[in-house]
Amino acid sequence: MRWKLLLRPGWLALTLVVFGFAVTCFTVLSPWQFDRHDDRSTQNTAVQSSFDEQPRPLAEILPAGQRPGNDTEWRRVLVEGTYLPEHEIIARLRTVQGEPAFEVLTPLRTTSGRVVLVDRGYLRPDNGDVPPYAAAPGGVVRVEARLRADETDPQRRDAFSDVSTQGRMHAYAVDSRTVARATDLDISPGYLQLAAGQPGVLNALPLPQLEAGPFFSYALQWVAFGVMAVLGWAYFTVRELKPGGALSDDGNGPRRKSVAELLAEDEADEPASR
């Protein structure tokens, strides 16, 4: 039976590659892009909704000990307390509006005793170093900010200070847990992104653009790639099994060259044509 010819090692290897690629497209790559599309849609909805509601006290939106989630992130909150500039940390290797930046993270102790992390905004590097910037105001301040979930450094690196940081503590992510470990403060999960015009703000971080992005179309492309790979395999399988095909050994008519042989001949002809 001609179908037994599909058990040849070369064709089996090709089959494994094609179906492995297709399965990866269907189960990994396209779901990954669909998830990114869903995340972007959730973020856009949360940001848009925040414009329509008035800021409320932090304790009403996020009780102590809770982490910001999809239902609370980006919501506008009011906090009253005192900055703790002696525990300030610089987030490095940041990108804001497509350009390198540092972000200044300053803990704030609220009047209720709760400690929260405040992202005061960004600074542009000065020859790679942190430029001079205004200190956080002293005394009790009342600020408006947006709730944000902690970032996660994939390498889980702690904050550090050395000669290259000019004595300042630096971190690789805006993460209340990292700052808590470095300062021995009991900082609430998440952080507050300071709004423009608020006490202590430097250059306020811009809000994300409210657009869907290309993720949904990318997901559909990966599905299409997987389907095309399977259809291509089926086409060439039928083609090569027909009399004269590369997989056929029935001796009926001249042997038709395989796709691999045609490609090899084209590559061999290229130097001669130059």
Nearest to 50 by CA among 118, 143, 145: 145
**pTM to 2 decimals?**
0.69
Q: How confident is the model at residue 87 (pLDDT cuts 50, 70, 90)?
A: very high
Six token digits for residue 82: 């005192």
Strands 115-123 and 99-110: antiparallel
**What pLDDT is stored for residue 24 in this prediction?**
94
**What pLDDT is stored for residue 252 in this prediction?**
54
Question: Which of 27-36, 77-86, 178-187, 245-254 bottoms out in mean pLDDT, i.e. has the lowest?
Answer: 245-254
Q: How confident is the model at residue 265 (pLDDT cuts 50, 70, 90)?
A: low
What are 140-184's pLDDT values in tens digits? Answer: 999 999 999 999 998 999 999 887 787 889 999 999 999 999 999
Higher pLDDT, 106 or 244: 106
d(CA 154, CA 248): 52
**What pLDDT is stored for residue 86 in this prediction?**
95
Residues in Cβ contact with 96 at an 8 Å cutoff, skipping those fewer than 6 apart: 103, 122, 203, 205, 206
Mean of pLDDT over the chain: 85
Six token digits for residue 98: 């497509």
What are 90-135's pLDDT values in tens digits? Answer: 999 999 999 999 999 999 999 999 999 999 999 999 988 999 999 9
What percent of the chain has a predicted confidence (pLDDT) above 90? 53
Question: What ranges do the domains of the chain cover?
Answer: 2-36+214-261, 55-194
Amino acid at 103: E
Report the alpha-carbon angle 179-181-185, nearest 5: 75
Predicted confidence (pLDDT) at residue 249 exceeds the cutoff of 60: no
* Number of C-beta neighbours around residue 62 at 10 A: 22
